[in-house]
Amino acid sequence: MIRVENLHRHFGGFHAVDGASIEIETGSITGLIGPNGAGKSTLFNVIAGVLPPTSGRVTMDGEDITGLPPHDLFHKGLLRTFQIAHEFSSMTVRENLMMVPSGQSGEALWHAWFARRRIAAEERALAAKADEVLEFLTIDHLADEKAGNLSGGQKKLLELGRTMMVDAKVVFLDEVGAGVNRTLLNTIGDAIVRLNRERGYTFCVIEHDMDFIGRLCDPVIVMAEGKVLARGKADEIMQNEAVIEAYLGTGLKNKMKAGHA
């Protein structure tokens, strides 16, 4: 579905992404791991149109999407979530979800004037959709809570919920498990698996929790210093000498072991 070819993203003289090529197959939950500073988020940012690449190419189903802005990619069904959740804190959880779909009549003032009834109907449909999403994510009890009051993990679920308000094809999740307790992490993992199986979402998931990666992802791609180091099944990846070396180099050996003992 997504093919990244020889991608570079430099910041001044620093090569954050240094000739990375990856493929994300349709229907997969692909894991992207690697030590801190490996270039994972930068790679996501380039794919998702947040940052232009220095060079290289990104295609989606064969179509060149390199450098397209996020809203164009959104309409093609390519969505991303951020390493730090971006919620509208003073709005309720339901309202946060209702903000997502674009192209509603309510966006144009003249529509608001001439077509109030249609807008009311659209809003009801959106609210119903939001409630359905919240139920799917098992946080329907939080619908009327201000998003700013959610825990870190609940905010991550809300981010995932946003991708369900539209017909997403491929979703990029950046550290969806960071700072999330085990129970919520399982909820997030279950939601990802169900979205993949029941709704055909393709995922690419950055995560440091190796348990989570091992349970969800096939294949797993490992990045280090801006380059792709390895790709394979989670078990194989964790036996791979070059991968262990890369993690050892940054003192993350224990993190890897803890995740897959």
Ligand X SMILES: Nc1ncnc2c1ncn2[C@@H]1O[C@H](COP(=O)(O)OP(=O)(O)OP(=O)(O)O)[C@@H](O)[C@H]1O
Residues of the shown chain interacting with ligand X in the complex, contacts defined by CB under 6 A: 11, 14, 16, 34, 36-42, 83
Residue 146, beta-bridge partner list: 92
Site membership for Mg ion, residue 42 (CB under 5 A): no
Report the residue number, 28 or 41, with the smaller CB distance to Mg ion: 41
Report the residue number, 3 or 10, with the smaller CB distance to ligand X: 10
Residue 42 site contact among Mg ion, ligand X, none (CB < 5 to 8 Å, cut-off depends on kind): ligand X
State the nearest-atom distance from the C-beta of 175 to Mg ion, in Å. Answer: 6
Report the residue number, 35 or 77, with the smaller CB distance to ligand X: 35
State the nearest-atom distance from the C-beta of 8 to ligand X, in Å. Answer: 12
Contact letters (x/-) for Mg ion, 45-84, by CB under 5 A? ----------------------------------------
Residue 37 site contact among ligand X, Mg ion, none (CB < 5 to 8 Å, cut-off depends on kind): ligand X
Report the residue number, 47 or 142, with the smaller CB distance to ligand X: 47
State the nearest-atom distance from the C-beta of 14 to ligand X, in Å. Answer: 6
HEC string of the chain? CEEEEEEEEEECCEEEEEEEEEEECCCCEEEEECCCCCCHHHHHHHHCCCCCCCEEEEEECCEECCCCCHHHHHHCCEEECCCCCCCCCCCEHHHHHHCCCCCCHHHCHHHHHHCHHHHHHHHHHHHHHHHHHHHHCCCHHHCCCEHHHCCHHHHHHHHHHHHCCCCCCEEEEECCCCCCCHHHHHHHHHHHHHHHHHHCCEEEEECCCHHHHHHHCECEEEEECCEEEEEECHHHHHHCHHHHHHHHHCCCHHHHHHHCC
Q: For residue 179, how far is the Cα from the chain centroid?
A: 16
Q: Which of 7, 22, 33, 41 binds Mg ion (CB under 5 A)?
A: 41
Report the residue number, 38 or 228, with the smaller CB distance to ligand X: 38
Report the residue number, 11 or 114, with the smaller CB distance to ligand X: 11
State the nearest-atom distance from the C-beta of 149 to ligand X, in Å. Answer: 26
- The contact set with Mg ion (CB under 5 A) reads 41
